[in-house]
Every structure is written in C-alpha cells, then in structure tokens.
C-alpha cells in the first residue's frame, strides 16, 4: 500500500497560503496558453489577443465550475445561503460546469474578436485535455475526490481522511486525460482532421466524458444524495456530453463540419 499525507499547502508566507490545487489549476491555464500560442503561430495568426482569450476562458471556467458544483452537488446548502457560492477559496468546482462555462466564454470571445467559433473551440480542446490532467493531480495532492476502498497493490491510503486503502482514481483520471491530450495533438497535426469543424471538440467531449463515466464507478460519491443510486451525478452529466461529442464527430466526417479558409 502507498501512504499519502501531503500537505495541501505548497507555500506559506505570513498569512498567505498557496495550495497545491491552486498551483496545478494555474499551471493548466499557463501551459494551455503556451500551447495555444504555438497553434496560433503555426496557423499564421497573431498572438496579440491570446491574453484576452485567456481571461475569458479563466473566468468562464471558474464561474461555470463553481456554479456547477453548488447547484448540482449540494444545491440545498448553497441555495439556503447563496452568498456561500462566492466563497470559491473554500473549494468546490465541477468539471461539467467548467466545460459549459468555457463554451460560453469561447462563444462570447469569438463574437467580439471576429474569430470563427468552431475554429477556436477545436484549438482550445487540445490544451483543455492536458489541463484536466493537471487539475486531477491537484486533487490528488489535496487528498480529495478519492476512490473506493480496494485491495489492489497500488492502493493509496489517504491518511488525512481515513486508514482505508483506496483507488487513486485522481491519477487514473489524470492518466486518461493525458492520453486524450496526445490523441488530440496527433489529430491536430493532420490537416484534413483539424480543418473539419467540431472534430477536435467532438473527440474531446466523447473521450473525456466516456473516461469520466467509467472512472466514476471507482470514485466515492461526491453528493450526499448519490448514495444508493445506480449512477452518480457525474455519470448522468457525462452521458449527454458523450452524445454531443459523437454528434460532432458524425457531423465533421459527413462533411458538414468542413471549414473554410477564412478563420
């Protein structure tokens, strides 16, 4: 068994504390910005607007993820005291809400900047998968979103929680997202694939949320009302995401998603 008891706080300077989760969350966007910069340069686009794009995506992800957690996983608690929703430093972000927030942010940014929505969304899908891996590693550092008890040799005992050996499901998910990032990166390098509108976004939605659906069977329930249910909240929310992903793939390969040269 692996014993895990990492301090969630990475650095403390006086009253200021920086958590590992926050560092990995920030790293997801910083690395994502670098990848988007390379994509823009490769395709002959100016990188001048990348900082504003980052701002839109960060705000969209945070607002969407926070509202998703509060309204989907513990609605009674947060709706009884709505101001608690603003206490984002206390934790509580939902990936499904984050994806919706990013979709809205990309739509608003595309309209304001004149970029084509699908072109932009397909490119953002590539670093987004890697960002998901970073965030799950942050969850592991925080000993949160833990797995079911198990006796597998690589089980982890999260000493901050209890003495039970558990599936390190955060690392399973991080590994899955890393593989999906590689798939997306390879697909992006094939011009015929990246020029099909919605194809990369479809791969992202189909694979990320299919992995999420499967790995939810190894997770402890995240919402109190999930206990005793056949499927978790995360699984119910993943199903439409997977279906939309397959629809985008079908649309792209049918030729309806073929892009024009004007981006």
Residues in the annotated binding site: 136
Dihedral of alpha carbons 22, 180, 33, 58, sign: negative
Taking the C-alpha atoms of residue 125 and residue 57, their distance in angstroms, rounded to an integer, is: 12
For the record, the structure tokens of 238 come out as 């993943």
Taking the C-alpha atoms of residue 147 and residue 136, their distance in angstroms, rounded to an integer, is: 12
**Listed residue (2, 24, 6, 252) closest to 136, CA to CA:** 24
Q: Are 161 and 6 in contact (CB under 8 A)?
A: no
Taking the C-alpha atoms of residue 15 and residue 124, their distance in angstroms, rounded to an integer, is: 36
End-to-end CA distance of the chain: 52
Query: Residue 216 has what DSSP assignment?
Result: G
Grouping H, G, I as helix, E, B as strand and the rest as coil, residue 263 is coil
Strands (E), 72-160: 156-158
Taking the C-alpha atoms of residue 249 and residue 148, their distance in angstroms, rounded to an integer, is: 33
Q: Are 168 and 140 in contact (CB under 8 A)?
A: yes
């Amino acid at each position: 068994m692996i014993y895990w008891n990492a301090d969630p706080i990475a650095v403390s300077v006086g009253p200021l504390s920086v958590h590992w989760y926050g560092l990995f969350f920030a790293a997801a966007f910083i690395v994502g910005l670098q990848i988007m910069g390379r994509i823009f340069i490769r395709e002959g686009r100016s990188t001048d607007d990348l900082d504003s794009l980052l701002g839109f995506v960060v705000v969209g992800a945070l607002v969407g993820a926070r509202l998703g957690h509060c309204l989907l996983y513990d609605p009674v608690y947060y709706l009884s005291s709505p101001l608690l929703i603003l206490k984002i430093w206390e934790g509580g972000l939902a990936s499904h809400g984050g994806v919706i927030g990013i979709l809205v942010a990309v739509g608003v940014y595309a309209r304001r900047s004149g970029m084509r929505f699908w072109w932009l969304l397909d490119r953002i899908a590539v670093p987004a998968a890697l960002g998901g891996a970073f965030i799950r590693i942050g969850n592991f550092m925080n000993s949160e979103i833990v797995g079911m008890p198990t006796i597998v040799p690589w089980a982890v005992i999260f000493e901050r929680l209890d003495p039970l050996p558990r599936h390190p499901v955060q690392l399973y998910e991080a590994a899955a997202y890393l593989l999906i990032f590689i798939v997306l990166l390879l697909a992006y390098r094939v011009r015929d694939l990246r020029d099909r509108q919605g194809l990369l976004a479809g791969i992202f939605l189909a694979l990320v949320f299919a992995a999420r659906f499967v790995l939810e069977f190894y997770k402890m329930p995240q919402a109190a009302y999930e206990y005793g249910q056949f499927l978790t909240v995360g699984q119910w929310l993943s199903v439409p995401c997977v279906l939309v992903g397959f629809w985008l793939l079908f649309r792209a390969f049918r030729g309806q998603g073929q892009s024009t040269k004007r981006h």
